[in-house]
Structure 1
């Protein structure tokens, strides 16, 4: 299982105009697809962010892995560390998840290669990745409907006929109804930080009236002050399953946590292992949303799960805009992690294109059954990969910029980080 070649392919795929604290999604989202081509013909697949900084790192790393075994992940991580620490740094690909650091850059760059190694190992052994992670403890992984305020469509593009516009409580409820009816979701999460808190409280209350039995979550991406966060927590006492990242920083979250009756969740203030001691000591969070793309891969997330269980912190899973390789990795990880406290997040219902062949990934009764095949259980579609790579070359986007895109329509826009 020696690596003969490493292919790193940036892709761009259609993305709806989903609003968030940073702005609005651009017409195309970016991802990078990694293929580890082994001497015996096995190909391991990985996927990660597509921003130009991380792409350049992956392209520098790729040739250094040739000749290594996909089972020698320690050597592969060593190569990643050597390249990343010896090259100039750059801006963190996901700027909502904390300040950039060399350690985080290593973990982000290593993650798609680790997933690709596990995929290749599973294919060679004829077992699913979940078996390599200890064995599946659940046959299907529960996910929450990920609700967004959104425009009807991007200007100069075809309107979104499936979900349409959602700029008020009625629009949010209609979007939720479509997702629940289509996919059977049993939990609902609203991405907030878009409108004044009072409007988002009204949207949550409308969801509660429409779906009296479903757990609800609200995530304003740290848009609010501590005082506003406490007020919202009071207003939604008994309504929310958890409140995610209402305000910035661990100290700010700790202040809110002392007053809030529901757990506070995060994927913004605790996003690396060196954040955990302060987060635990200050009792700032009740739920941690892991993400293998920046925590360092699937096995590092299992280590994180053990730490959360030790300190009584609930565990769920964060999602960025992604394709099927990432979803498959998320499902195998969640299936093989006994300590999973809440339904996971996924953008997959919003995904209009993919690089994997259809059939292996399905959302059934609000969950994704673990793919049955060896490795990740998904098959790369080379024609789709070529088409989305060509789209990447044509679209001209090289870095996600929700704020810049929104300012083309609203020049005065500034993200309300911790100020509302």
Structure 2
């Protein structure tokens, strides 16, 4: 089975109402959808986390046309430079872009053999996967959002519990003044009860001094996990002396994590590692070192399907991945946006990733990209003309 065509399409994937994070108001993400076609009529799907990957994938395509679609290792060898320069000269943009192609090749392998991805990874230990529903301070847009007070945020989460059975929540604690975020957590704990799982994400917003103050005030709220309270593993290690709250982070330097004893979990997507194969190896390393692993959010149904299959295949992925499913009005797959009920999403059991690309939905999201331009995620409208600098305080 030979590769005949590789297409990379930039898209905008908006969320229904922008939410506040440490870099400003986040409106959604601009991503890249990849289609790899073969001479036997099998097409594989992949997704890159940035629209910038499209140009890189187009440069890689001529290197792969005519190659065996099952030779994933060979595809990596012709597309990526050596990984040896881990922190100095590795082309991380190329690694992330290739990951989308690599995912599509796994999808092809599953479709060609008639087996779901989790079977190719060794079989499923579970068929329903838990996800956390996201919350935060949101602007109002088209009748959605508008949770700009702690009371409104808590009410939104209570509504998720009543309508969908949600008991696992993750959201932002990264306001300049942490008081509104802390009050929202207090109200959530009071109204959701002791059994609700609450995780928070600060996106490196705070200095270690401020993080210590926050930790002392939220410790009693039984926070399941605090993602990136500070910018570095070293700062998390210093903060650990002042709180028992577990930490997570996106940095994949597992050697440093083991040496420092933090973070307790590493949270990534497959793009960071260069694809599904290397992500599987990284999960194995995390398991061996006693570090949890889960995936972060904002993907289309293509990337989300990868998370589902990984969680199905590996028992070590015992903590729920993040999800923006409730906040995403659009998707590019026929199956639509995944919708957790009682926190759970069923793993697609079709061949490969088990999702089907919708040409109409892809065209719609591509048109949004062309008309709106790529989304800006790292500017604060309150400080136009400059990038946000961290920590906030």
Structure 2 length normalisation: TM-score?
0.92
Shift of 1:412: 8.3
Range moving further from structure 2, 199-208 or 286-295 = 286-295
Aligned Cα RMSD in Å?
Answer: 2.3
Question: Where does the alignment leave 5 or more consecutive residues of structure 2 unmatched?
Answer: none
The answer as to 2:350 corresponding to 1:368 is no
Distance in 1 (alpha carbons) for counterparts of 2:24 and 2:59: 31
Would the alpha carbon gap of residues 5 and 100 (structure 1) be closer, same or farther in structure 2, given more than 3 Å must change?
Answer: farther
Does structure 1 retain, via aligned residues, the 8 Å contact 2:176–2:392? no
Deviation at 1:247, TM superposition (A): 0.6
**Shift of the alpha carbon at 1:414?**
5.9
Aligned-partner Cα distance in 1 for 2:387–2:113: 51
Shift in Å, 1:416: 5.3
8 Å CA contact retained: 2:182, 2:218: yes
Cα deviation, residue 183, structure 1 = 3.3
Give 1:295 deviation, angstroms: 2.0
Q: Which residue of 2 aligns with 1:244?
A: 227
| Aligned mates of 2:179, 2:39 — CA distance in 1 | 59
| 1:353 paired residue among 306, 330, 334 | 330
CA distance in 2: counterparts of 1:100 and 1:204, whole angstroms? 40
Correspondence for 1:91? none
Task: Decide whether aligned partners of structure 1 residues 100 and 199 sit closer, same or farther in structure 2, where only a CA change above 3 A counts.
Answer: farther
Q: 111, 135, 160: which one pairs with 2:99?
A: 111
- CA distance 1:136–1:39, shift in 2 (3 Å): same
Distance 1:40 1:414, change over 3 A: closer
Instruction: Please state if 1:10 is matched with 2:10.
Output: yes
Shift of 1:199: 2.0
2:188 equivalent in structure 1:
207
Q: Does the CA contact (< 8 Å) of 2:301 and 2:337 recur in 1?
A: no
Residue of structure 2 aligned with 1:186, choices 149, 162, 167: 167
Contact 2:301-2:336 within 8 A present in 1 as well = no
The equivalent residue for 1:310 is 288
2-structure distance, mates of 1:295, 1:328:
17
Looking at structure 1, the residues matched to 65 and 167 of structure 2 have their Cα atoms a distance apart, in angstroms, of 45
Aligned to 2:200: 218
Instruction: Tell me by how many angstroms 1:311 deviates.
Output: 1.7
CA–CA distance in 2 between the matches of 1:253 and 1:69?
A: 45
SS of aligned partner of 1:284: coil
1:343 paired residue number: 320
User: For residues 411 and 100 of structure 1, what CA distance do their matches in structure 2 show?
Assistant: 32
The question of whether the paired residues in 2 share the 8 Å contact of 1:8 and 1:62 is answered with no
Greater fraction of residues in strand: 2
**Residues 357 and 381 of structure 1 are in contact (CA less than 8 Å); yes or no, is this contact kept in structure 2?**
yes
1:19–1:25 CA contact under 8 A, matched in 2 = yes
Partners in 2 of 1:330 and 1:118 — Cα distance?
Answer: 13
Cα offset, 1:129, TM superposition = 0.6
In the alignment, which residue of structure 2 is the partner of 1:415? 388
Of residues 177, 181, 196, the one that matches 2:158 is 177
Alignment of 1:55-134 (within 5 A): 55-81=54-80, 102-134=90-122
Q: CA deviation at 1:186?
A: 2.4
For each residue in 1:257-283, what CA deviation from the matched residue of structure 2 results, as whole angstroms up to 9, or x when unmatched?
22211211112xx23xxx221221111
Distance across 2 between alignment mates of 1:120 and 1:294: 21
1:322/1:348 contact within 8 Å kept: no
Give structure 1 stretches of 5+ with no counterpart: 86-98, 154-158
Match for residue 148 of structure 1 among 136, 154, 164: 136
C-alpha separation in 1, matches of 2:292 and 2:112? 35
SS at match of 1:71: coil
TM-score, normalization by structure 1:
0.86
Q: Equivalent residue for 1:276?
A: 254
1:389 corresponds to which residue? Answer: 366
Structure 2 counterpart of 1:25: 26
- Is contact 1:18-1:148 (8 Å) kept? yes
CA contact (8 A) 2:328 2:337 kept: no
Superposed displacement of residue 190, structure 1: 1.4
